[in-house]
Amino acid sequence: MGIMKDALLKAGLKPTATPKDQNQREKVAKKQMTEAVVHQEQRNFCEECNQVRPDVEFYQHRNPTTDAEWICVKCADKLKIPDACRKTAQSDTSVKKMFRREHGATLSPSEIKTKVHEKPRGPVNGNR
């Protein structure tokens, strides 16, 4: 078998890669991967209007007309969600202190950061 292989190599034919070789991936250490990949630092996609906006914030609201939580200012004003329901101050407009609401008062970022440690309300367990 080796003689035939040598003869074909001399004739100029090259060996093809086996399917197993094509699926091999290089090994990357977990520590190296997490340092190189930057995960999402800011959210800028509005779940209500499905657009990328610079003023998207996280709202914990009880508005029955929408299930969206990451909402831009325009949609939050349209849905009449108060700024007291806002839980983040991470958007570009909030960082640049240009965040303004048309519906009700606008909270300052320092007031919101003190509220971050609140316990989220979820389904109540009756076996407490």
DSSP state for residue 37 in the 8-state scheme: P
Each residue of 47-103: pLDDT tens digit?
Answer: 999 999 999 999 999 999 999 999 999 999 999 999 999 999 988 898 888 889 998
| Domain total in the chain | 1
DSSP state for residue 27 in the 8-state scheme: -
Q: pTM here?
A: 0.58
Residue 108 forms part of a structural domain: yes
Each residue of 34-47: pLDDT tens digit?
Answer: 555 555 568 899 99
Residue 79 forms part of a structural domain: yes
CB 94 within 8 A of CB 100: no
Query: Is the model more confident about 18 or about 98?
Result: 98
Residue 26 forms part of a structural domain: no
What is the per-residue DSSP string for 39-103? PP-S--EETTTTEE-TT-EEB----TT---SEE-HHHHHHTT--GGGB----SHHHHTT----SS
**Domain region containing 84:** 45-114
CB 97 within 8 A of CB 106: no
How far apart (Å, rounded) are the C-alpha atoms in residues 100 and 106?
A: 6
